[in-house]
Amino acid sequence: MRKNKQQTMFVCRECGYETIKWLGKCPECNSWNSFIETKTSFEVDKTKPFRITDFSSEVLPLNQISDASVSKRILTHITEFDRIMGGGIVPGSIILLGGEPGIGKSTLMLQVADKIITSCLKDNQEIKVLYVSGEESVQQVKLRAQRLNINNDKIFVVSETSIERITEIVENLSVDVLILDSIQTLYSEYIPNTQGSIPQVRGVTAEVIKFAKGKNITVFILGHVTKEGDIAGPRLLEHMVDTVLYFESETMQNYRILRVYKNRFGPTSEIGVFEMTSLGLKEIPNPSELFVEHHTNRVGTVTTCILEGTRPILTQIQSLVTKSYFPQPRRVVSGIDYNRAILLISVLEKFAGITLMYEDVYLNIISGLKTKETAIDLAICVAIFSAHKNLEVDSNTVYLGEVGLTGEVRPISFLNERLNEIVKLGYKKIFIPKLADRIVAQRKDCEIFIIETIKEIEKIV
């Protein structure tokens, strides 16, 4: 007889990568110290078929499949949110909303729930929303709702963590929209691991998807992005759901950016900007004003666009160039690769005709971002040049380009995606490397200037 050996695996809590041995760094998502030991074999209730989706297995020719359920989207009339969703929520879809604790996920969901109901009522459709709070009591949810001025009799609230109980409630109430806040607090009785562990989070999600797809229930799954502890991150679930949204806060404290990373029913390059006020989240329909208005031209401050993963993020490079009192001038760099900065300083000396050997150079990326991207080379050069010459740089101009050892400005990856983000945030003047005649011809929404070599830097600052 074969003995059933209890085996363990190590699973990355950030992205779900599995290995047999413990690893310090995940080869998949590059997170450090993210591997957690998990049991691979556990008792599964054989009476319950474990399938992720529960569609009918009827075989149909493509042209005979009804598109009724996909066609009518639910609008929240929160313009930023509808845009993110690709023009409203597709009924029966599963949406994952990730974000750090305290960023405003619960607040956003409560506001969205309220808007969905009102919007459906206008179409003479009555829908019910069930808000499952696994981390707060119903009184706490009520307090938040009062603060947001929401008093809707179609939002039902329950403080519950057992997924079996939750599906029962959903069935009894015949709920149309289900909000799970948060997935890490829920558990299934059929999975022996602890709440928030990788098998639990995955298993509960699979159970919810199976259940909701069969009944055409729209589900919002909220997930905390955590860097520490044994709590599985929402990234583990990205492949299982239809839409992945992340709520983030960048440089500015009260502003929140909602980004879509994946959407089976719409584009993934949208961002929505909100402001957290004392009355909840307020959408900022025209974020460009927000980002551009506050900007003033400064010496040594240059706007550019970096890529975080596949996401373009607008940021600024700052440089300070001062007389050095050291035998060897100082090069202090933060957020940028040190060796890259040294190289660019040499390129500037050689091709832009400036001397930096008696000056200290400080370089920094605003907002504490870090990047090794070479696409910001040009912006770094412009920042140093401007700081050295004491020239103001137009903050409404964006500089993109890699700089080569012979001073040539080289093409960069994802240029179109970056341009989209730049234009979306209201910037119109953009310097890019020569290459992209095709892209330039296509773009009517911004003014594009070509820079070929660093020798032209004087002209462009």
Contact residue for ligand TYD among 203, 234, 266, 280 (CB under 6 A): 280
101 binds, among Mg ion, ligand TYD, none (CB under 5 to 8 A by kind): ligand TYD
65 Cβ contact partners less than 8 Å away, ≥ 6 residues apart: none
CA 35 – CA 15 distance, rounded (Å): 10
Q: How many CB atoms lie within 10 A of CB 36?
A: 18
Instruction: Note whether 106 binds Mg ion by CB under 5 A.
Output: yes
**How does strand 429-433 pair with strand 397-399?**
parallel
Coil vs helix vs strand at 195: coil
279 binds, among ligand TYD, Mg ion, none (CB under 5 to 8 A by kind): ligand TYD
Instruction: Note whether 348 binds ligand TYD by CB under 6 A.
Output: no
Site for ligand TYD in 126-145 (CB under 6 A): 144
Stretch of residues binding ligand TYD (CB under 6 A), selected from 275-283, 293-301, 370-378, 418-426: 275-283
102 binds, among ligand TYD, Mg ion, none (CB under 5 to 8 A by kind): ligand TYD
Report the residue number, 106 or 319, with the smaller CB distance to ligand TYD.
106
CA separation, residue 180 to residues 167, 384, 423 (Å): 11, 49, 35
- Tell me, by CB under 6 A, how many residues bind ligand TYD: 15
Contact residue for ligand TYD among 9, 23, 29, 148 (CB under 6 A): 148
CA separation, residue 437 to residues 257, 422, 443, 449 (Å): 32, 18, 10, 11
| Minimum gap (Å) between residue 281 Cβ and ligand TYD | 7
CA 1 – CA 396 distance, rounded (Å): 74
| Minimum gap (Å) between residue 161 Cβ and ligand TYD | 16
Instruction: Note whether 279 binds ligand TYD by CB under 6 A.
Output: yes
Contact residue for ligand TYD among 107, 263, 374, 386 (CB under 6 A): 107
Tokens representing 451 are 């820079």
DSSP, residue by residue, 129-163: EEEEESSS-HHHHHHHHHHTT---TTEEEE---BH
Residue located via tokens 């909100």: 274
Stretch of residues binding Mg ion (CB under 5 A), selected from 102-110, 195-203, 319-327, 366-374: 102-110
Chain centre to alpha carbon of residue 247: 6
The one-letter amino acid code at 115 reads: K
Q: How many helices (H) and strands (E) does the chain have?
A: 12, 23
Stretch of residues binding ligand TYD (CB under 6 A), selected from 151-159, 273-281, 329-337, 402-410: 273-281
| Minimum gap (Å) between residue 257 Cβ and ligand TYD | 14
Chain centre to alpha carbon of residue 318: 25
Instruction: Note whether 253 binds ligand TYD by CB under 6 A.
Output: no
User: Residue numbers of the site for ligand TYD (CB under 6 A)?
Assistant: 99, 101-107, 144, 147-148, 276, 278-280
User: Residue numbers of the site for Mg ion (CB under 5 A)?
Assistant: 106
